[in-house]
Chain A
């Protein structure tokens, strides 16, 4: 199919719509007033639950910090708290960047470039979060037996070996999936940005 054939099809599609008179002044008026009262959407709910879980864990570790009696446990506790705080902050920042107000008046090529840059940044945040989860797994594996039973991880060797191994495998598969899921999209975005840059330098 040539571009001209495609053009004919497009003209046909539009001719089907030529009698369409859908928008009344009332509907247009409603549309300009619309929504954003449901600003908290599905993704934000997921992010908010994540933030809640992380901060509950921070409070839990904080309240039980006196049980961490050695410098190793205390350092692990501090690091775990930092990671637990960093994950939701990172998610929040990436979401804010993605949902930031766009200037739709600008030339289309600039919009695509900004959009692709945001996309890459968002994916990088996701990858960083997956990496931080590895450290979190080590931290929680060390801290939980100490906080709950005042024992170190060596006291329940079998249980914690399995728990750690299972957690590690899960994270490994999950992070592989995250990387695979995003890498194709990132490559496409990078190719497009390169193409746009080349176009702009030839202007």
Chain B
């Protein structure tokens, strides 16, 4: 099997994960699609250097999150995007509204968090264990626990405001 085919299979398997990360880091559909494209492009560029020291999923999380923070800065400088067909989104109108509303609430809550906190929070929401979070972020397991408590406190203060 060609390298490209292996890559395409890997991306297909992690498609939802990529969309979730893109949703977390962006606040509108256009940016989301653009970020998905950016992530896939950079996954492909980095695929050769994937050493399998970590699992494929961990590697995809890492690359996707790293691309996202750079993309946040550069999102205004868009290149040519490959459009994702809206027909395939499979939403009924009401569920789409609910989805957008919940996503908006989440975006408002996290918008003041710094990139470090955002990354940890996203992995926590993804139900990753402390060990997995530590591996993806590059910190110790005990630091993950400490950071999560602080994020919790920050979010609580934000709600009080």
Contact = CB atoms under 8 A, between A and B. Distances in A.
Contacts of A107: 62, 136-138
Nearest to A12: B102
A125 to B, nearest CB: 15
B8 interface: yes
A7 B70 CA distance: 25
B19 A20 contact: yes
Interface stretch (A59-67, A98-106, A156-164): A98-106
B90 A34 contact: no
A199 to B, nearest CB: 6
A32 B90 CA distance: 25
A31 B82 contact: yes
B53 to A, nearest CB: 10
B16 interface: yes
Contact of B140 (A22, A103, A203): A203
A21 interface: yes
Contacts of B89: 20, 22
Contacts of B79: 34-39, 41
Interface in B6-48: 7-8, 11-12, 15-16, 19-20, 23, 37, 40-42, 44-46
Contacts, number: 177
Interface stretch (A79-87, A109-117, A134-142, A143-151): A109-117
A71 interface: no
A19 interface: yes
Interface string B55-80: 00001001101110110010011111
Nearest to A37: B80
Contact of A13 (B82, B102, B115, B119): B102
A72 interface: no
A105 B45 CA distance: 10
A1 B82 contact: no
A28 interface: yes
Nearest to A7: B125
Interface of B: 4, 7-8, 11-12, 15-16, 19-20, 23, 37, 40-42, 44-46, 49-50, 59, 62-63, 65-67, 69-70, 73, 76-82, 84-85, 88-91, 95-96, 98-99, 102-103, 105-106, 109, 114-116, 119, 121, 124-127, 136-140, 143, 147-148, 151-152, 155, 159
Given A104-B62, A105-B59, 7 more contacts: A6-B106, A10-B125, A20-B89, A41-B77, A104-B67, A107-B136, A109-B137
